[in-house]
Amino acid sequence: MTWLMALNAAVALGSMFFGLVALFRPQAMPGRPLASPGSQMTQPSEATTYFARMYAARAVPFGIATAAVCILLPSQAVIWLLAAGAVELLDAMVVASRNPREAAPPLLAVVVHIGSAVWLMTA
């Protein structure tokens, strides 16, 4: 089961990494910017910055906590993995409303987290 916890920790830290990218370089995030039509995004708009900060406020601490639980307290990881899967599913739903292709990474995280939780509950 060590490999399963390591996989979940890596996925959680990946989400945290993108939270940091969104926080410090919102213009580097994929997808069309939240800017006025026809404008070029040399500086992120207020809306882009706001949503990047909101994403980072959730992704960074939750990613660290989920990875820590998976590595340090694997016997207690099921509830964290269910919560992480639910959060990633909501992220995917938000992203899919703008660009469905961008929902693939959070959906992959959903499969890993929820699948792992189910595996651990039935093993």
Nearest Cα to Cα of residue 10 among 18, 25, 56, 86: 18
pLDDT of residue 29: 66
Q: Is 92 in contact with 103 (CB distance < 8 Å)? A: yes
**Domain containing residue 118:** 2-27+43-122
Classify residue 73: in a domain, yes or no.
Answer: yes
Classify residue 90: in a domain, yes or no.
Answer: yes
pLDDT in tens, 42-57: 677 788 788 889 999 9
Based on the structure, what is the number of domains in the chain? 1
pLDDT of residue 60: 96
Ranges under pLDDT 70 in the chain: 29-42
pLDDT of residue 42: 64
pLDDT of residue 36: 52
pLDDT of residue 25: 86
Classify residue 78: in a domain, yes or no.
Answer: yes
